[in-house]
Chain A
Amino acid sequence: MARQIRIALRNCGVIDPERIEDYISRDGYMALATVLTELSPEAVIEILKKSGLRGRGGGGFPAGLKWEITRKVQADQKYVVCNADEGDPGAFMDRSILEGDPHAVLEAMTINGYCTGASKGLIYIRAEYPLAVERLKTAMKQSREMGLLGNNILQTGFNFDIDIRYGAGAFVCGEETALIHSMEGLRGEPTVKPPFPSVEGYLKKPTNVNNVETFANVPVIINKGWEWFASIGTEKSKGTKVFALAGKINNVGLVEVPMGTTLREVIYEIGGGIQGGKEFKAAQTGGPSGGCLTKKHLDTPIDYDNLIAAGSMMGSGGLIVMDEDDCMVAIAKFYLGFTVEESCGKCSPCRIGNKRLFELLEKITQGNGTMEDIDKLRNLSTVIKDTSLCGLGQSSPNPVLSTIENFIGEYHEHVKDKKCRSKVCKSMMQYLVVPEKCIGCTLCARNCPVNAISGERKQVHLIDQEKCIKCGACMEKCKFNAIIIN
């Protein structure tokens, strides 16, 4: 039986997040005390490096290494930034941590400040998370009162304080250079890396950007030792990962599992299987930047490298489960629609290329696609990936490529047979009256919003396919199951 291990979520739902005493009673701020009184910054960085902790915001960059790089840059002022933008639609891990255990993030940011030589921390949080903001504010007030934040922390002479900055609804602002520009009051457009934020970030000063979940792991690693942390997970991905299970799964919600747990364990043992006993079709990880995992990946151990090898990526931890009723071409179109809306527009491959991808997908879902269009999708995807400026454009074609790779049959059906087996793509469906079942009650005709149904009382009715907008109202209303989808 697959086990959940709670490291990042250790306190969520366990403590009262508005009481610092609760946090302290569970070893809270113990790591900070150890670090400030017993360890040199180098020693802490060494512990993190040995623990193998990698960034949980998507990229999987080794956390200890990032801290070290930021530390080594000479500057009069440095910053610590917590990325709480959580833009992947369908993911809410960071929100839960901030709402359920805000002190863990504050503690880790302070430790980071000590290690990198920064005296100021900033939390960049989505405006859509008002409760998380409130909890953070309460937590900061409490820790200042107790001398755990602010000047002369724990009477060691170390100064560090934290401020909150708000996002304003732009997915691309989760990308670290865009995030920094947004914090500076500018449009959240990414810039080319290098320079990396660790070298030149907020107000051109070295800035260590880490994700919420990455930070939440840090105090535990200090308290329990890197050996303990490194003993969990796979060779190159240590510790646990929090996933937000959503979609057609019985137990939706957050799970935290050791790296290396298989998709099957997550979906069937922890997630309780697919809703309504339907058949598993695919799971999307990595959100709009990721790809889908299919039946053949059910037994692959989930870690950073295996997911990339499978054509997807870890991403921030959204895991959307899809069943036989989901059309993979429509899913690809859905993600592209998201990308088109969220592209910042700075570079043309992403701004224009994704739009063309979307249009091609639209053409296919409307039943007008050709085999050539599938090739075009492939080629254009590769170009966009290779030539876009930031991670958004570089990964936005992934849902297209991965659905083509894994579900080419469905693409062919849409194109050649003009058929959508999941009955999602409306243009390919026909609502038909089954003459044997229709008793001529007129109910459907009265409910059709566009008057597409004709027929006299007690006569078999007929749907005018030209007029029908495929709303499904007639089918819902018919008491005799006389209307079917072809």
Chain B
Amino acid sequence: MAKIKLSEKKIQELKDVCKAFNNEKGELINVLHKAQSLFGYLPAELQEIIAKELNVSVAHVYGVVTFYSFFTMQPKGIHPVSICLGTACYVRGAEKVLEEFKRQLKIQVGETTPDGKFSLSCLRCVGACGLAPVVLVGEKVYGRVAPDGVADIIAEYNT
């Protein structure tokens, strides 16, 4: 796991999160949710602090982080692009949309553009299947996306 240095202030913030959940090991997933929303991702150092605070092994924390696809150890781009590859979206051509994003952003799934602006990920059904195929940029939902609409979406964030 790559190491990063956290500032004292950030470390304190993280400890406060653990405390808010009574440093209860059963609350690990809630703590991770909160930590990820604060830091954007869950690097090794963060996991070590959480392990210590909740009094569990780092391996346990790492095991949980890597089990759930919602948790990531990679920093996401400023505008995380997620393409729904759920069934409804798949039968309506989501794969082609994904290919187009890969081509235009020149990154693969799970990667971030060198300028840190965009990252690309896939997810399975956001519950908006009526709008298939669905693309999310941050929290914003784009429905009925066609490959030739991809450039416009990217342009919206490229100013």
CB distance from A329 to the nearest CB of B (A): 14
Q: How many residues does chain A have at the interface if contact means C-beta atoms less than 8 Å apart? A: 45
Q: Which residue of the partner chain, among B32, B70, B91, B127, contacts A247 with CB atoms under 8 Å?
A: B91
Q: Which residues from chain A contact B85 at a C-beta distance below 8 Å?
A: 89
CB distance from B71 to the nearest CB of A (A): 6
Task: Verify if B151 is at the interface (C-beta below 8 Å from A).
Answer: no
Judging by beta carbons under 8 Å apart, are B32 and A168 in contact? yes
* Contacts A89-B87, A166-B29, A334-B87 given; does A171 touch B124 at CB 8 Å: yes
Bitwise interface map of B from 93 to 105 toward A, beta carbon under 8 Å scored 1, else 0: 0000001000100
Judging by beta carbons under 8 Å apart, are A186 and B64 in contact? yes
Give A253 to B99 CA distance when docked, in angstroms.
Answer: 27
Judging by beta carbons under 8 Å apart, are B28 and A169 in contact? no
Q: Which of A90-98, A144-152, A430-438 contacts its partner?
A: A90-98
- A residues 182-208 near B (Cβ < 8 Å) are 182-189
- B residues 95-137 near A (Cβ < 8 Å) are 99, 103, 123-130, 132
Judging by beta carbons under 8 Å apart, are B29 and A90 in contact? no
Q: Which residues from chain B contact A360 at a C-beta distance below 8 Å?
A: none
- A residues 273-296 near B (Cβ < 8 Å) are 284, 287
Task: Verify if A86 is at the interface (C-beta below 8 Å from B).
Answer: yes
Residue of B with least CB distance to A338: B124
Which applies to chain B's interface (DSSP): helix, strand, loop or mixed? helix
Judging by beta carbons under 8 Å apart, are B69 and A184 in contact? no
* Contacts A89-B86, A170-B69, A322-B91 given; does A246 touch B130 at CB 8 Å: yes
Judging by beta carbons under 8 Å apart, are B27 and A185 in contact? yes
Give A247 to B86 CA distance when docked, in angstroms.
Answer: 11
CB distance from B144 to the nearest CB of A (A): 11
Residue of A with least CB distance to B32: A168
Residue of A with least CB distance to B84: A89
- B: which residues have CB within 8 A of A? 25-30, 32-33, 63-64, 67-71, 85-92, 99, 103, 123-130, 132
- A: which residues have CB within 8 A of B? 86-92, 95, 127-129, 165-171, 182-189, 244, 246-248, 252-253, 284, 287, 318, 320, 322, 326, 331, 334-335, 338, 344, 449, 471
20 further contact pairs, Cβ within 8 A, besides A128-B125, A247-B92, A344-B67: A86-B127, A89-B87, A91-B129, A92-B125, A92-B127, A92-B129, A128-B127, A165-B30, A166-B30, A168-B29, A168-B33, A169-B69, A169-B70, A184-B26, A187-B63, A247-B91, A252-B129, A253-B130, A318-B88, A338-B124
* 11 chain-A/chain-B pairs, Cβ below 8 angstroms: A86-B127, A89-B88, A90-B87, A90-B88, A128-B127, A168-B69, A169-B68, A246-B132, A318-B87, A449-B103, A471-B99
